[in-house]
Structure 1
Amino acid sequence: MEVQLEQNEKKGKAFIDKDGKTLAEMTFSMAGTKQLIIDHTEVSDELRGMGAGRQLLQKIVDMAREESLKIIPLCPYAKSVFDKDDSIQDVLRQ
């Protein structure tokens, strides 16, 4: 599964496409210049149970690290992963 990232000044998403159809996506909005809010995650039944949501989150975490951003996980899925995984706490806004 290849996770792609698409972003403009205010909004963005990490997503997985197959044959022109989006099978999974995690959306975010910029909150100022140094923070982003993850607000939604959706994974199709075709990818459910294959770690697609975690891969989407990792793509956004990697981008946040590269750009020195902090993440506010309002999406219940993203928040649950941050609560369980100490390895990504460095980008979590405290």
Structure 2
Amino acid sequence: MAARLVQNVEQEQFELYVGDDLAAFADYVDMTETRNFSHTVTYPRFQDQGLATELIRYALDVTRRQGLKIVPSCSFVAEFIEGHGEYRDLVA
């Protein structure tokens, strides 16, 4: 089953759904020109499937298109960027 990725602006989070189930989300706080990613969660039954990686890639691509820099306060986001050099330019 394909994942559905969305930005929930009201909740300030990116969300990944598998079917109708919220499988993972990444919280953020927007500041003037930056987006601080503070927390990433994958629910237990969806772990070890690469969903958080897919979610963060999507979140960073959307953030880039929106013209924002990021603050990777979340350790998962920081580690993702460390391993994916094409996103290092987004770090404020």
Q: Please tell me the TM-score bracket, short chain as reference.
A: 0.7 to 0.9
Structure 1 runs, 4 residues or longer, greater than 4 Å off: none
Identical columns (%): 14
Alpha-carbon deviations, 1:23-79, whole Å to 9, x = none? Answer: 2100100122x1000001000122211111111111211111111110100011111
Distance across 2 between alignment mates of 1:21 and 1:52: 13
Is there any run of 5+ residues in structure 2 with no aligned partner, and where? none
Distance across 1 between alignment mates of 2:19 and 2:86: 33
Does structure 2 conserve the Cα–Cα contact (< 8 Å) formed by 1:38 and 1:73?
A: yes
Aligned-CA RMSD value: 1.6
TM (norm. structure 2) is 0.85
Secondary structure of the residue aligned to 2:56 is: helix
Shift of 1:20: 4.2
Secondary structure of the residue aligned to 1:83 is: helix
Aligned residues: 90
